[in-house]
Structure 1
Amino acid sequence: MEKKSVTVKLATSLKGKEDLIEKIGLIVLMGFLIIPYPLFMLPETGLDNSWILALALANQFQLEFGTDFIFTYGPLGYLATGFAHFQDVYSIVLFRLFIIANGLFFVYHLYKNLHSTLQKIIGLLCVVLLNFLFCQYVDILLYFYFLFHVFYYLRHKSIISMLVFSAIACVSLYVKANVGIVLSLLFAITIIYFLLDKIGNKFHALAGLGLFIGLHVLLDTTLKIDIKAYIGNALDVVNYYNDAMFIVPRPGVLTIAILIVVTLVSVMLFHLREILQKRAEIFLFFNIALFLYILFKYGFVRGDSGHYPAFFLAIPYLALLIYLFTGSLNIRSNIFKMLPLILIMISLVKVTKPHFVNDAVDIVRNAMTFKTEKKKAFDDNLSKVKLPQAMLDRVGKKSVDIMPSEVSFAFFNGLNYNPRPVMQSYSAYSSKLSQANYAKYMSASAPDYVIYHTGDLIDNHFATWDDQHLYLALLQRYRMIDTGTIDDKKLILFEKEAGTKTIQKHMILDTVMELGQHLAIPKTDKMLFMDSDLSYSIPGTIKRFLYQPSPVKLELTDGEQKKSTFKIVMPLLKSGLLINKSLHLDNEKKDVDFNAMHYFFDNDGNGGSEIIGIKFITPGLWTKKKFRVRFWTYSL
């Protein structure tokens, strides 16, 4: 009897030590997770960095989001970027701490629900090797933590979770519209479902609804935003992003992603009858399925290395949400059995990134020396984009816009930034967005000067097809007064004139074309614009919705029979593209011919190297084979 008592005490003591070791390990793991999360971003030049700088300038110059400034990021977008210029540094720190707190709470809740050693090892691999919980994809993180707290409330009826997901649903709209719109709709569905199905305390639901509405009133009244225009224009940007910005990913990457999606969907379909028996399970898997779809679109519309990692980082956590919150033991067991297979498939894509001590040291140093590093980064980058002094003297304190995209010129040179609503030309994906920019340049609030630069043509776009109406505005209302060079970019300075020239527009050809047909275009010295009703077929529309559209290209033939092929942005095709002016160096360099562009503006769009023929190239399955094209002359 005494031996048995000693054995029990020893076992209890060992179990206590194991628990203590596990808790210490969890604390160390959490510390590793917190430290590598960067607090602030330093200023840099470049195409992608320019929209981050533009967000800061929009707040500095009190531009109204939705009207003066059209983008998917809102007035609180700086919380996602961590760019602290002209912003409240403490709000960035609090937002980062909020993300960290949610991540740590998820790890803690996961740890409590992993029972075997194997489960804990798999969970550890997810958390450490795929550190999604503190990654740079803040919009997807907000979506994930929203779902986590919704599901947590569904199972545990915690008022804290109710308030957290209510706050996320509201604030996310002002951080980034696309995720905010989705979360606002899901919030409404969630509150209605909780009230109708009597889940939790109805006063909890009312408290969440009150917080959601109260925060909206507070933010809408304190921030510079026209919420209706902001949402409407953001929906336009998000919709046509599909057509303008898609990149086909590497086949292997896409194949692995599809296999992962099929794996998860197969588990859900296998248990479909069980899911449909309970409303809570239907609610859970409706949200899971929608999140899976949005993750896939997020990662593979623009399937480059800056986007598809978000899918692979988040997918294991989507599976963990099912494991943690489904009421079915069978689904819970089967989904966890699939996790090792999913992790193996992800490992083939090479998106895992363990955080090492040198990362932590760098992040701590960044936070402690931010003010010094910020000034050093500013000075270093200013040397790269310092405008010619004669140009700076000419502009002075008058208002300036940068065209097509390098907003860093305005930021680092301290210019009085007065942008068109869609501040980077490649983002004016539709006629509506392009017309908004044109209207700005033709309005009383038009910038006094416009600095045009070469370079930054993305994804094989033709120079004047992005923001196509803006070139007309420059011809109508501005004149060239200076040129210059920065690094590899050549510059043209335009000055606004007192009067406005009128555009004369005449249709000279209306005909029907087929895919693959070569068409000789009308010959004219004037600007020739072409519009078309070419559209996606039914299979093409479905492909666009589920994945991305099929590429549509236009082959241009010049007077020397040289052929160049460029990507068509379908929504812009409907509003007209300048078709007869060859303004590129060649088909390989994909850059503007500065001399040709200078000649174009110096001669009111007349004359210059001519395009004489066109041919549409695209797989016939995804677009209609016959379509209408019209040609218009534009002259001043």
Structure 2
Amino acid sequence: MTATPPPSPPAARRTALVVGLGVGLLLAALSWQTIGEAPQAGLDPSWQAGLHMAAHDGIAWGRGLAFTYGPLGWLRSPAFWFGQSGSLALLYLAVIRVGSSAVLWTLAARRFGRAGAFLALLPVLWGLPEPTLVVTFAVVVRLLVDEPPSAPQLAAALGALGGLEVLEKISVGVSILLVAGAALPFVGPPRRAVALWARWAVWAVATLIAGWLLTGQALSDLGAYATNAGDVVGGYSQAMAVDDPALAWNGQVAALIWLGVGIGIYLDAAVAGRRATAGVLVAWTVLAFMCFKAGIVRHDRGHSVLIFGMLGPAILVLPWRRRWAPAMALALAAASFAGCLQSGGNAVGDAVSPVAHVRDAARQLAPLVSAERRGVLERAGRRAVIARDALSPSVLADLRGRTVAVLPTEIAAAWAYDLRWRPLPLLQGYQAYTSRLDRLDAGALRRGDAPERILAGPTGTVDGRLWSLDTPLLAREVLCRYVLGVRQGRRWLALDRVSPRCSSPRPLGSAHTIWGRSVDVPAPRRHEVVYARVTGAQVRGAETIRSLFYKAYERAIDLGTRGVHRVVPGTLADGIPLRAARGTDLPRPFSVAPQATGLRLLRAGGETGGRLDIAFFAVRIRP
């Protein structure tokens, strides 16, 4: 009997690819994370609706739209706002989960064996929020340690992935680019590293530009998109900080995991040479920092899982070689898994429920092959949004046939009632983290193509903030250019566009104060609105560095009988509306000015001192 010859290299690669994809499919099914299918009302569903509506209606980004996500952001929201975009988003999600599971298993199996890697990855994949970021880390480590013949192709693929992700979720795209860009210079000899880094950079830029154009965007708007992205990503740490005292342990545990893995990388013999070791340490440190940053700014149960959810799988794909290293890696991955569960308030059974996860995957992927199921989900979502965001007949009649923007957040109502949606650049105003973003929204109301109507809904946003204090320039433009068109409903009112009716600002004097000391607000004359420009409360100096690596201190404003509200430091100098003469403002609860007779600025930690300058102005609004 003749022995069967070993498979040729191409055949072996094809076999490995098929096996990897098969295992990836099984892992993805057994660790399936539940997703939302039917559209809903609310804060987060509304911006997801906006992403799908923008893609469906061909609304331009850059100068037209600015948000945490980009023109491909709808791919991350697989609810069925529209049948086609919902199906593509669901298919994209499934491909990402299967592909990333296959890559991570293939690399982890090199040290833990096929069965061991499968069992180790199964629980941690359930809590993996950003698979593409961990895959980037895994591929970079492979390049550093092995320098495979396919290194140029892998470097190009990493660049393309980063460029694509920047058009989806900006922060994830930036994280991918930082992990790869920081580590690739350590791959092999310096000349080879420069060539790989250049190839990576070219593919990142080329993919970004190609994706931008293929989504129907104008090349001239790409600069504005980049500028807006910088403001949104950079301003997030200054405006959105929140802390849950019950999660105070997160930072210390994350630091211990980072340190333990770092020591293991340094001591382990798997990384050959100082340059490769340094590269792996750099990649690990950048990844750990980006995970920490993603979860520590909004430090609540919903976000803190991001600190640990990506560390566990990343630890398992490192090329551990020493006898003690795999046991240490499993222990640290288990600690990350426990941190993910504890942070999110989940039980082990939530993560390790293979039968339930497969059942959920089959149910949630069914719309891909069932037009009837897609229609059921879309109709159910429309009914749910209308049930919560019901418009009165008079309000709805005033909106029909007109272009409509929705303030401050409930965009889903425009989808549910099939209105002619014309969004303001910031899909939801609480993301006006900087004065430039506030000006972007306000400027949209001055253009000739400004929305003919504004549908004003519930006035709360996030963290007890008031939308008019978040976006003071926009709030004043609303008062200057829109009037109440019909009798208001219980939760909504329609505003009609009119000719500008505001006078030039009239100075009312200024006051110099400190944190924690109250200042009186001047009274307005008839038909006037009083606003204040606050300087000295912005993030600056050493706090800018703190914000970059951690987050800024929270700011709040005490309006006396009107309560204490969080404020955005970047827009305080734009002129926050405070008092309005009788009959000048919108009716409650939609009013712009909180009718404050005094104001007191507060900073987290009870800090006092520090000069604050407040200049008061009044604008007359023609009746």
Work out whether 1:153 is the aligned partner of 2:152: no
Change (3 A) 1:394 1:115: closer
Please list the CA deviations of residues 324-363 of structure 1 after superposition, one character each: whole Å capped at 9, or x if unmatched.
Answer: 2x78888777555544454455554444522342332233
The answer to whether the 8 A contact 1:276-1:282 is kept is no
CA distance in structure 2 between the aligned counterparts of 1:143 and 1:475, rounded to whole angstroms: 44
Work out whether 1:47 is the aligned partner of 2:43: yes
The answer to whether the 8 A contact 1:401-1:417 is kept is yes
Displacement of 1:422 = 0.5
Work out whether 1:546 is the aligned partner of 2:549: yes
Residue 573 of structure 1 aligns with which residue? 572
| Secondary structure at 1:420 match in 2 | coil
Work out whether 1:465 is the aligned partner of 2:461: no
Please list the CA deviations of residues 66-106 of structure 1 after superposition, one character each: whole Å capped at 9, or x if unmatched.
Answer: 11111121111122222452528347525531431221221
Change (3 A) 1:371 1:503: same
Q: 1:612 aligns with which of 577, 585, 597?
A: 597
Residue 586 of structure 1 aligns with which residue? none
Please list the CA deviations of residues 303-332 of structure 1 after superposition, one character each: whole Å capped at 9, or x if unmatched.
Answer: 1222111222212223234x32x7888877
Q: For residues 551-570 of structure 1, what are the structure 2 equivalents within 5 Å?
A: 551-557=554-560, 562=561, 564-570=563-569
Q: For residues 254-403 of structure 1, what are the structure 2 equivalents within 5 Å?
A: 254-265=248-259, 268=262, 278-321=274-317, 323-324=318-319, 334-336=328-330, 338-346=332-340, 348-349=342-343, 350-351=345-346, 352=348, 353-369=351-367, 370-384=373-387, 385-403=389-407
Q: For residues 151-300 of structure 1, what are the structure 2 equivalents within 5 Å?
A: 151-156=141-146, 157=148, 158-159=150-151, 161-184=154-177, 186-188=179-181, 193-194=186-187, 197-199=190-192, 211-225=203-217, 226-249=221-244, 251-265=245-259, 268=262, 278-300=274-296
Residue 491 of structure 1 aligns with which residue? 492
Work out whether 1:517 is the aligned partner of 2:521: no
Change (3 A) 1:296 1:189: closer
The answer to whether the 8 A contact 1:531-1:577 is kept is yes
CA distance in structure 2 between the aligned counterparts of 1:66 and 1:537, rounded to whole angstroms: 27
CA distance in structure 2 between the aligned counterparts of 1:115 and 1:362, rounded to whole angstroms: 29
Question: Which letter does structure 2 place at the counterpart of 1:579?
Answer: L
Q: 1:96 aligns with which of 66, 90, 94?
A: 94
Residue 13 of structure 1 aligns with which residue? none
CA distance in structure 2 between the aligned counterparts of 1:73 and 1:184, rounded to whole angstroms: 16
The answer to whether the 8 A contact 1:480-1:493 is kept is yes
| Secondary structure at 2:533 match in 1 | strand
Displacement of 1:283 = 1.6
Change (3 A) 1:438 1:219: same
In the alignment, structure 2 segments of 5+ residues that lack a partner are 1-18, 368-372
Displacement of 1:27 = 7.0
Work out whether 1:80 is the aligned partner of 2:83: no
The answer to whether the 8 A contact 1:39-1:96 is kept is no
| Secondary structure at 1:181 match in 2 | helix
Please list the CA deviations of residues 526-570 of structure 1 after superposition, one character each: whole Å capped at 9, or x if unmatched.
Answer: 32212222244755444433322222222112xxxx362111211
Change (3 A) 1:596 1:515: same
Question: Which letter does structure 2 place at the counterpart of 1:289?
Answer: T
Displacement of 1:521 = 2.6
Question: Which letter does structure 1 place at the counterpart of 2:478?
Answer: L
Work out whether 1:630 is the aligned partner of 2:621: no
Displacement of 1:63 = 1.1
Q: Between Structure 1 and Structure 2, whose CA radius of gyration is higher?
A: 1
Displacement of 1:635 = 2.0
Residue 537 of structure 2 aligns with which residue? 534
Displacement of 1:230 = 1.0
CA distance in structure 2 between the aligned counterparts of 1:93 and 1:266, rounded to whole angstroms: 38
| Secondary structure at 1:531 match in 2 | strand
Change (3 A) 1:329 1:277: farther
Residue 507 of structure 2 aligns with which residue? 507
| Secondary structure at 2:301 match in 1 | coil
CA distance in structure 2 between the aligned counterparts of 1:538 and 1:396, rounded to whole angstroms: 50
CA distance in structure 2 between the aligned counterparts of 1:362 and 1:270, rounded to whole angstroms: 38
Change (3 A) 1:154 1:506: same
The answer to whether the 8 A contact 2:39-2:381 is kept is yes
CA distance in structure 1 between the aligned counterparts of 2:243 and 2:44, rounded to whole angstroms: 19
Change (3 A) 1:536 1:571: closer
Please list the CA deviations of residues 569-611 of structure 1 after superposition, one character each: whole Å capped at 9, or x if unmatched.
Answer: 111112221123599xxxxxxxxx984356x68xxx7xxx842
CA distance in structure 2 between the aligned counterparts of 1:188 and 1:518, rounded to whole angstroms: 49
Q: 1:447 aligns with which of 445, 451, 474?
A: 451
Change (3 A) 1:332 1:112: closer
The answer to whether the 8 A contact 1:430-1:572 is kept is yes
The answer to whether the 8 A contact 1:132-1:314 is kept is no
Question: Which letter does structure 1 place at the counterpart of 2:132?
Answer: L
CA distance in structure 2 between the aligned counterparts of 1:211 and 1:271, rounded to whole angstroms: 29
CA distance in structure 2 between the aligned counterparts of 1:545 and 1:386, rounded to whole angstroms: 42
| Secondary structure at 1:502 match in 2 | coil
CA distance in structure 1 between the aligned counterparts of 2:172 and 2:333, rounded to whole angstroms: 26
The answer to whether the 8 A contact 2:96-2:131 is kept is no
The answer to whether the 8 A contact 2:24-2:99 is kept is no
The answer to whether the 8 A contact 1:454-1:594 is kept is no
Change (3 A) 1:501 1:328: farther
| Secondary structure at 1:175 match in 2 | coil
CA distance in structure 2 between the aligned counterparts of 1:242 and 1:201, rounded to whole angstroms: 33
CA distance in structure 1 between the aligned counterparts of 2:135 and 2:103, rounded to whole angstroms: 10
The answer to whether the 8 A contact 1:453-1:491 is kept is yes
In the alignment, structure 1 segments of 5+ residues that lack a partner are 1-23, 584-592
CA distance in structure 1 between the aligned counterparts of 2:465 and 2:328, rounded to whole angstroms: 47
Change (3 A) 1:148 1:270: closer
The answer to whether the 8 A contact 2:521-2:599 is kept is yes
The answer to whether the 8 A contact 2:254-2:308 is kept is no
CA distance in structure 1 between the aligned counterparts of 2:33 and 2:548, rounded to whole angstroms: 34
> Sequence identity of aligned pairs in percent?
16
Displacement of 1:178 = 2.2
Count of residues in Structure 1 that have an aligned counterpart in Structure 2: 578
Change (3 A) 1:376 1:573: same
Change (3 A) 1:221 1:115: closer
CA distance in structure 2 between the aligned counterparts of 1:69 and 1:198, rounded to whole angstroms: 41
Displacement of 1:624 = 5.9
CA RMSD of aligned residues (A): 3.6
| Secondary structure at 2:406 match in 1 | strand
> Which has the higher mean CA deviation after the structures are superposed, 280-289 or 207-216?
207-216
| Secondary structure at 2:579 match in 1 | coil
Displacement of 1:266 = 5.2
